[in-house]
Every structure is written in structure tokens, then in C-alpha cells.
């Protein structure tokens, strides 16, 4: 599968390599070679057994030679600007891409004065080589054909650097908008948070509905230094027709705190790989996830909580609702390495099936190589409780409204733990929109 | 006498094919408090849930008239909006649903108008105070992590807020200590009036000392076998349910023999 005409592929990698600084050109070419030699994934592979790989064939999509849009966006659409409110009002900086090309970039005076760097990746690789070169491609390299292709052919994406000790109150925001049909975009984002620094990052993906599918294959690498505190919200609310295949990997040094919240709502296919490496003693990670799939949406959430150092703690809760003929997969692994004494690792995945024909798979895995751990994992797939429904209805609330209350109640356990003020409203709107689409 | 608020005519109901109510007849005029007593398993809670429209119970014969309207086939939300209320014996915990959101939606449904936020808060705070409940109560999730007593009080709070015309209290007294029982009874007494009828289901006589029912019904084997004045409760207390059973020939199921 995935046959590519050699002229087209060579031309693309060469165009990109030519535009890159030497070190990156080399990285790109190596990754391309690797991508060439890697075997295409198949459903026999445990990691791809739920995925319709035909949906992800890069050759079905037209690549953008210059990373540009054919009809440049003039103004940010409403759906995108409202998504920027998910952390409440205020922004420390915004990098906005439309169809893979930079649309706008801005940094608040406060952040600039504190030495924060927030640019598009193309600018960063030439202007901040010393910061980015040791890190780009180091956390997410060329492990599989998709990440290898991203490393070779990435265009767009953001670079954030927060110097040691700097605390930012307003979130730094990266938004990807998509208006083009049948295209492929592969942004790469690198975030470096210095020792003792504090920041919230919003990673937002949204678009209008597309009649012909586009594929988005983003990669994100996050470095959280000692004692840093990072809040991380990923908001995926693509319009219909978008296929999303994302890889995020974070590495945390000693006593770093990472609070992440992943929201998946949109697209026809969405697969996220989110890996958190607790590499330094005392690192603590909270990983929250929330998804709502309807119609024929197919969502996969893959997570890894990788404990390498002693006294580390990770706590994961993913909750999702699924309606109509939707399909969701959760596959989560807790790894406790031999050196990770005194580890706390928790993982829970809860699913609420709203229709008889929706299907949820949930697959928690443990790989424990140390005896000194406290570890728990649990997974459930349930339905709306008829007794709950009856109780609410006995107080005059109509069936449809009672059901909504219960669905929001289900999500509130996650939302209550995520301290982002604008998210409730934004999420309510999206969920209500989905429920309203019901037959 | 004014038109009854509730009339049950030969009401039969089954759950999963097993008939539990076998012909209940009852008339409850507005302004009256009726006590419904009977041993465990006699069908009291089933009757309460059938009256409220629990989807698992099927009415197999007879009908329920509320203010003269046949509500037998209505869903629970319609019954509530018409003015029926059930204080549950075991209120369910509804995780993640905030009390305030829930109370606001049910009040708006009952009144068929959207209350202004300030009006709503004043109303809720007033009722909380009346029931000796802390304001923080309303900021919690619906029954989530509530103690048994808190759940019962929450039922009475909802009763006070929704101002129904028929209130069915299903063993609201069980699980309450004497102080809580007094507060609950006092607030129920304060709601009494010509516009509301009460059907108080209880296993014990205790709550009846506070509520002073106009009529006492005794239920056995899915039927009301005896009705009378408040003296019937006293008689029952003196002689126990066994004497009623002897009189009406209903065999005592095993689990009832040990009921307190």
C-alpha cells in the first residue's frame, strides 16, 4: 500500500530540504529515507488493529508545495475565534495557521518583555537554532511511517520557549484552521518550558466542514524542565470530513508538573497518541481526556504514562460519550520502569454509550517492572441510567433535557478537574450542537 | 366535599410480569393527609412509583385520576408538571449534575416559565433556611455523596420548592434521627393547606405522631384492606401487622417476620 510516484515524493522532500538550514535538511532527508524503508502499518499490528488505514494514505491527498493556501484567508472564522476563548479571555500570544501556512503570529508585551519566544517553526529553525536543534525530532522521531513523514515533510507549527523562572498568566495559543479539501498538512510544534517556569498552552484544531477529506498529521514535542508547571489543552473540533492523526510526546524533568486536557469532538477520523515520560524524580502528570463521537465518527485515543524515575505520579482520566454508529477506542499503557520506585499511577477510561449501535473499545495495559508501586486502572462502558432519567423526569424535566443533564453530568467529573474557564461554555455549545443533530 | 385530588380505581400493576398491585382503590380529597401503612412487601413503594410513572412498572388494569384527569399513561415529567410529587424512599445519586442546575430546570418546568437567576436563588435560599439546611447544600451535585438523612432532606427541599398539589412521601421518615424527623415533619405540616393532599407511606407509627393523618389505610398483598381514622394507626401499633394478616388471610412472607 501507499505507493507513491518517485518523482513527486523526491520533489517534495527536495523543495523542503532546500528551504531548510543544513542541519534540518539533513534531518529531513534522513527521516525521508527512514520513511521509505519502514514497512507500512497493517491491521495485524496491535497498534493499528482498529484503524482503517486506507483513510490515512498520504497519497490520497494533495500536498501543498509551498505550504500555502490557494485562497488565503482574510479573516479568522467565528468557529476559530471562539475556540481561542477556551481558556477564558486574554492571550499571551497567538500563532495561527490556515491550511498549513502561517496566517498570523503575535506575542503579548508581557511575554515578550519576559524573554518568551513564540514563533512559527520556520522562523525558529533559523533564528533559534541553539534552542530548537537539540530538541526537534528528539522526542518524536521517525518511529513509524507517519511520524517519519512528519519529520521529513513537516510544514507549519509553532515553537514556544519560556525562559527559566518566567511565569505567564495568559495562555499561549496555537491554532490550526483548515479550509482546503483533499489536502495534507503536517505541522510540528516544539515547546520548551524552562526550569521553574509556568505556562498554559492551547493547541487548537478547527475548521469548517469539508466535502472531500483532508488529512492532518501533527506532531508535538514538549520539554518540561525541573520544577516547571505546564497546563496543556488540546482542542480538536474539526469540521466534518477531516482526518486527524496526531502524536504528542512530553518529557518531564524532576518535580515538573504537567496538567493536560485533551478534547476530541470533530472530524470523521481522529487518532491521538499522547505519551508522557516522567523522567525526573518527583514529576507529576495529570492527563484528562474528553470526547464525544456521533454519526460515523471514529475516535482512537492512545496514551502512555511512562514512569522512569522514582517518586513520580501520573493520574489519567478519559471520559467519552458515543452516539449513533460512532466507534471509539481507548488504549492506554502504564509503564513503570525498574528505577521508578515509589510510583503512583492511575488510569481510568469511562464511556457512555448513547445508542445501541455505537461501539466503544477500551483497553488498559500495565507494564510494571518495579514492585514499589501503587497502580490502578479501570475501564467501563455504560449507558444512561434509567433510574437517573426517571428521577430527573419525576421533577418535571422532559426526557431530552434530562438526558442532556446526565450527559453533561458524566463529563463534569473531567471538566471539574480542568481549570479552564471558557471550556465549559465552548464544550456545551459543541455537545448541544451534536445532540441537536440527532435524528 | 371538594373534588378528590387523587382517585385510584381498581389499580393493578406488575413489574417484569409479576403482579404486585392487585386492585387498589383510594380517594384523597385536597387538604387531607392520608397515611398508607403496611408491612414490607405489601406493595407500598410499588404504589408510589406507579403513581409517579416509573417506566419499569406496568399498569395492567384500573386507572389513576389526578384532579379528575386520567394520568395512567403519562410519563413522569408530565405528571410532575401537572402537580404530582414523589419524595423517594431511596433517592438516587446523580453524579456530576449540580443541584442548582437541576432545581432550576425542574422549577422552570413545573412553573412553565423561566425564573430570573436572582429570584431563583432567593427562593432556594429561603427554602433551605426553612429546612435548617446550609446554603452550601445547593452547591453540591445531586445527592452525590449525601448521607441518608441529607438525601431525605433534599427530597423535602424539592417538595417545598415545587409546591405540588399531591405529595407522596415514601418512607421519608426512615433513616432520619428524631431531630431531622421533627424538622421534616414541621416543614410538611407548614405546607399543609386546602391546595395540597398528602399520601404518607410509612412502615412506622413514629412520623404519624407529628403529621396527624386524617385517614389511615392499611395495605396488604397489593390491596388496601382497611381504612379508618387516626385511631387505626394506634391499633396497628398495639396489635402489629399480624393481627391484620390474620383478619385478612394474607400469608406472611418469610422476610417480613424479622422486620423491625
Task: Report the mean per-residue pLDDT for chain B.
Answer: 90
Residues 6+ apart with CB under 8 A from A217: A58, A146, A149, A150, A184, A185, A186, A245, A246
Instruction: Please report the pLDDT score of residue A8 as a whole number.
Output: 60
Between chains, do A410 and B54 touch, taking CB under 8 Å as contact? no
What integer pLDDT is reported at residue B161 of this predicted model?
A: 95
Looking at chain A, which residue has its C-alpha nearest residue B76? A394
Counting every residue written for chain A, the total comes to 439
Per-residue model confidence as pLDDT tens digits over A423-435: 888 888 888 888 8
Cα(B236)–Cα(B139) distance, rounded to whole angstroms? 42
Q: Give mean pLDDT, residues A373-381.
A: 94
Q: What is the domain partition of chain A in residue ranges?
A: 6-280
Report the b/e string of A270-293 with b at 16+ CB within 10 A: bbbbbbbbbbbbbbbbbbbbbbbb
What tens digit of pLDDT does each residue of A130-158 get?
999 999 999 999 999 999 999 999 999 99
> Using one digit for the tens of pLDDT, what is the confidence trace for B19-52?
999 999 999 999 999 999 998 889 999 999 999 9
**Mean pLDDT, rounded, of chain A:** 92
Is A405 within 8 Å of B102 when comparing Cβ atoms? Answer: yes
Interface touch B95/A413, C-beta < 8 Å: yes
At residue A164, the 3 state secondary structure works out as coil
In chain B, the residue whose alpha carbon lies closest to the alpha carbon of A414 is B96
Measured between CA atoms, how close is B81 to chain A, in angstroms?
Answer: 5
pLDDT of residue B246: 83
Q: Which residues is B236 bridged to in the sheet?
A: none
Q: How confident is the model at residue A4 (pLDDT cuts 50, 70, 90)?
A: low
| Cα–Cα distances in angstroms (integers) from residue A351 to residues A51, A175, A327, A380, B106, in the given order | 19, 28, 11, 6, 27
Q: Is B195 on the interface with A (CB under 8 A)?
A: no
Which pLDDT does position A434 carry in this prediction? Answer: 85
Contact yes or no for A405 and B158 at CB 8 A = no
Can you give the pLDDT at residue A66? 46
| pLDDT mean over A78-85 | 89
pLDDT band at A389 (very low <50, low <70, confident <90, very high): very high
* Minimal C-alpha gap between A344 and chain B (Å): 25
Cβ-based neighbours of B138, under 8 Å, separated by 6 or more: B99, B100, B103, B124, B125, B128
Inspect the interface and report whether the beta carbons of A406 and B97 lie closer than 8 Å.
yes
For A413, name the nearest residue in chain B, comparing CA atoms only. B96
Q: What is the reported pLDDT for B255?
A: 41
Q: Is the per-residue pLDDT at B257 higher than 50? A: no
pLDDT for position B188: 87
pLDDT higher than threshold 80 for residue A419: no
**Predicted confidence (pLDDT) at residue B205 exceeds the cutoff of 90:** no
| pLDDT mean over A89-98 | 92
Residue of B nearest to A400 (CA): B77
Contact A193, A199 (CB under 8 A): yes
pLDDT score of A439: 47
B158 touches chain A (CB under 8 A): yes
Given 3.40.50.300, 3.40.50.150, 3.30.1360.120, 3.40.50.720, which CATH number is that of B6-254? 3.40.50.300
Taking the C-alpha atoms of residue B165 and residue B188, their distance in angstroms, rounded to an integer, is 13
Q: How far is A334 from chain B (nearest CA, A)?
A: 27
Cα A205 from chain centroid (whole Å):
9
Cα angle: A120, vertex A68, A173; to 5 degrees: 30
- Residue B56: its chain A contacts at CB < 8 A? 386
CB contact at 8 A, B199 and B166? yes
Q: Do B96 and A412 touch (CB under 8 A)?
A: yes
Measure in Å the smallest separation between the Cα of B77 and chain A Cα atoms: 4
- Are residues A405 and B76, on separate chains, in Cβ contact within 8 Å? no
> What are B95-116's pLDDT values in tens digits?
999 999 999 999 999 999 999 9
Q: Does B53 touch chain A (CB under 8 A)?
A: yes
Nearest alpha carbon to residue A32 among A141, A171, A164: A141
Kindly indicate the confidence band of residue B250, based on its pLDDT and cuts at 50, 70 and 90. Answer: low
The answer on pLDDT for B223 being more than 90 is: yes
DSSP letter for A69, please: -
A420 confidence band (pLDDT: 50, 70, 90): confident
CA distance B244 to chain A (A): 33
pLDDT, average across residues B198-213: 88
- If one compares A338 and B210, the residue with the highest pLDDT of the two is A338
List chain B residues with CB under 8 Å of A410: 95-96
Q: Grid coordinates representing A420?
A: 479552564
* B109 touching A (Cβ < 8 Å): yes
Is the pLDDT at A1 greater than 50, yes or no?
no
Does the beta carbon of B212 lie under 8 angstroms from any beta carbon of chain A? no
Partners of A304 in beta bridges? A275, A333
Contact B94 A410 (CB under 8 A): no
Q: Give me the residue from B56, B76, B105 closest to A394, CB to CB.
A: B76
pLDDT of residue B103: 97
Distance, CA of A134 to CA of A322 (rounded, Å): 41
The predicted structure's pLDDT at residue B112:
92
Q: Is the pLDDT of residue B218 over 50?
A: yes
Partner residues linked to A42 by β-bridges: none
A85-98 mean pLDDT: 88
Point out the least confidently predicted range of A8-22, A167-181, B185-199: A8-22
Percent of the residues in chain A that have a pLDDT greater than 70, as a whole number: 95
**Is there a contact between A396 and B141 if contact means CB atoms under 8 Å apart?**
no
Best residue in A394, A397, A403 for a mutation probing chain B (most B CBs within 10 Å): A394
Chain B: give the shortest CA distance to residue A412, in Å. 5
**pLDDT, mean of residues A88-110:** 92
C-alpha distances (whole Å) from B159 to each of B88, B142, B198 are 11, 15, 11
Query: Minimal Cα distance from A416: which residue of B?
Result: B96
Which residue did the predictor score with more confidence, B257 or B196?
B196
Instruction: Tell me if B48 sits within 8 A of B89, measured CB to CB.
Output: yes
Residue in A closest to B96 by C-alpha? A409
Mean pLDDT of A387-416: 94
Interface of A with B (CB under 8 A): 385-388, 390-399, 401-402, 405-406, 408-413, 416
Yes or no, beta carbons of B91 and A391 under 8 Å apart: yes
Question: How many alpha carbons fall within 13 Å on the CB side of residue B90?
Answer: 4
Q: Around Cβ A148, how many Cβ atoms within 10 Å?
A: 23
- Which chain B residues are within 8 Å of A394, Cβ to Cβ? 52-53, 76-77, 79-80, 85-86, 88
User: Given this model, what pLDDT does residue B196 score?
Assistant: 96
Give the per-residue pLDDT at A71.
63
Amino acid at each position: 500500500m501507499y505507493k507513491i510516484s518517485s518523482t513527486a515524493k523526491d520533489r517534495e522532500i527536495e523543495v523542503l530540504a532546500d528551504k531548510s538550514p543544513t542541519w534540518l535538511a539533513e534531518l529531513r532527508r534522513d527521516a525521508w529515507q527512514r520513511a521509505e524503508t519502514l514497512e507500512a502499518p497493517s491491521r495485524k499490528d496491535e497498534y493499528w488493529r482498529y484503524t482503517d488505514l486506507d483513510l490515512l494514505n498520504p497519497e490520497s491527498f494533495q500536498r501543498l508545495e509551498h505550504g500555502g493556501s490557494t485562497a488565503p484567508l482574510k479573516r479568522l472564522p467565528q468557529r476559530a475565534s471562539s475556540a481561542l476563548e477556551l481558556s477564558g479571555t486574554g492571550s499571551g500570544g497567538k500563532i495561527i495557521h490556515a491550511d498549513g501556512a502561517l496566517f498570523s503570529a503575535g506575542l503579548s508585551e508581557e511575554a515578550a518583555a519576559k524573554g518568551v519566544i513564540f514563533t512559527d517553526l520556520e522562523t525558529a529553525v533559523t533564528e533559534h537554532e541553539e534552542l530548537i536543534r537539540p530538541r526537534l525530532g528528539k522526542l518524536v522521531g521517525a518511529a513509524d511511517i507517519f511520524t517519519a513523514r512528519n519529520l521529513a515533510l513537516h510544514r507549519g507549527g509553532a515553537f514556544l520557549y519560556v525562559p527559566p523562572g518566567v511565569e505567564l498568566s495568559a495562555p499561549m495559543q496555537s491554532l490550526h484552521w483548515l479550509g482546503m479539501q483533499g489536502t495534507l498538512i503536517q505541522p510540528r510544534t516544539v515547546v520548551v518550558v524552562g526550569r521553574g517556569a509556568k505556562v498554559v498552552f492551547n493547541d487548537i484544531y478547527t475548521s469548517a466542514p469539508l466535502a472531500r477529506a483532508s488529512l492532518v498529521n501533527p506532531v508535538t514535542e514538549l520539554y518540561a524542565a525541573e520544577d516547571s508547571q505546564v497546563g496543556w489543552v488540546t482542542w480538536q473540533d474539526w469540521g466534518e470530513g477531516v482526518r486527524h492523526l496526531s502524536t504528542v510526546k512530553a518529557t518531564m524533568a524532576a518535580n515538573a508538573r504537567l496538567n493536560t486536557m485533551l478534547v476530541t469532538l470533530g472530524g470523521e477520523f481522529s487518532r491521538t497518541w499522547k505519551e508522557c515520560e516522567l523522567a525526573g524524580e518527583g514529576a507529576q502528570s495529570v492527563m484528562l481526556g474528553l470526547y464525544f463521537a456521533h454519526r460515523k465518527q471514529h475516535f482512537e485515543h492512545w496514551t502512555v504514562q511512562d514512569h522512569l524515575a522514582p517518586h513520580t505520579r501520573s493520574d489519567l482520566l478519559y471520559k467519552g460519550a458515543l452516539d449513533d454508529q460512532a466507534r471509539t477506542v481507548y488504549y492506554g499503557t502504564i509503564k513503570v520502569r525498574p528505577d521508578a520506585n515509589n510510583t503512583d499511577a492511575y488510569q481510568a477510561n469511562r464511556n457512555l454509550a448513547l445508542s445501541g449501535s455505537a461501539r466503544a473499545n477500551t483497553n488498559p495495559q500495565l507494564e510494571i517492572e518495579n514492585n514499589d508501586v501503587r497502580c490502578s486502572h479501570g475501564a467501563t462502558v455504560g449507558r444512561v441510567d434509567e433510574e437517573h432519567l426517571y428521577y430527573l423526569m419525576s421533577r418535571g424535566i422532559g426526557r431530552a433535557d434530562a438526558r442532556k443533564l446526565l450527559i453533561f453530568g458524566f463529563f463534569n467529573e473531567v471538566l471539574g478537574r480542568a481549570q479552564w474557564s471558557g471550556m465549559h461554555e465552548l464544550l456545551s455549545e459543541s455537545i448541544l450542537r451534536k445532540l441537536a443533530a440527532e435524528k | 366535599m371538594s373534588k378528590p385530588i387523587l382517585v385510584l380505581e381498581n389499580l393493578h400493576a406488575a413489574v417484569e410480569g409479576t403482579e404486585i398491585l392487585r386492585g387498589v382503590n383510594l380517594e384523597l380529597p385536597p387538604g387531607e393527609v392520608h397515611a398508607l401503612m403496611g408491612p414490607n412487601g405489601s406493595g407500598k413503594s410499588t404504589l408510589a412509583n406507579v403513581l409517579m410513572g416509573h417506566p419499569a412498572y406496568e399498569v395492567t388494569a384500573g386507572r389513576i385520576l389526578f384532579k379528575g384527569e386520567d394520568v395512567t399513561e403519562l410519563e413522569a415529567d408530565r405528571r410532575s408538571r401537572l402537580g404530582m410529587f414523589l419524595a423517594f424512599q431511596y433517592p438516587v445519586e446523580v453524579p456530576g449534575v449540580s443541584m442548582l442546575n437541576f432545581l432550576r430546570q425542574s422549577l422552570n418546568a413545573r412553573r412553565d416559565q423561566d425564573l430570573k437567576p436572582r429570584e431563583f436563588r432567593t427562593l432556594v435560599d429561603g427554602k433551605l433556611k426553612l429546612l435548617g439546611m446550609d446554603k452550601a447544600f445547593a452547591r453540591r451535585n445531586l445527592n452525590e455523596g449525601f448521607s441518608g438523612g441529607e438525601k431525605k432532606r433534599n427530597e423535602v427541599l424539592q417538595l417545598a420548592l415545587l409546591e405540588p398539589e399531591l405529595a407522596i412521601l415514601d418512607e421519608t421518615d426512615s433513616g432520619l434521627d428524631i431531630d431531622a424527623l421533627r424538622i421534616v415533619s414541621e416543614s410538611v405540616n407548614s405546607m399543609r393547606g386546602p391546595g395540597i393532599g398528602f399520601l404518607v407511606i410509612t412502615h412506622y407509627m413514629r412520623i404519624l405522631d407529628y403529621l396527624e393523618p386524617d385517614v389511615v389505610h392499611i395495605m396488604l398483598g397489593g390491596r388496601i384492606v382497611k381504612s379508618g381514622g387516626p385511631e387505626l394507626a394506634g391499633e396497628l401499633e398495639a396489635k402489629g401487622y399480624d393481627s391484620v394478616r390474620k383478619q385478612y388471610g394474607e400469608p406472611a412472607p418469610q422476610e417480613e417476620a424479622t422486620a423491625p
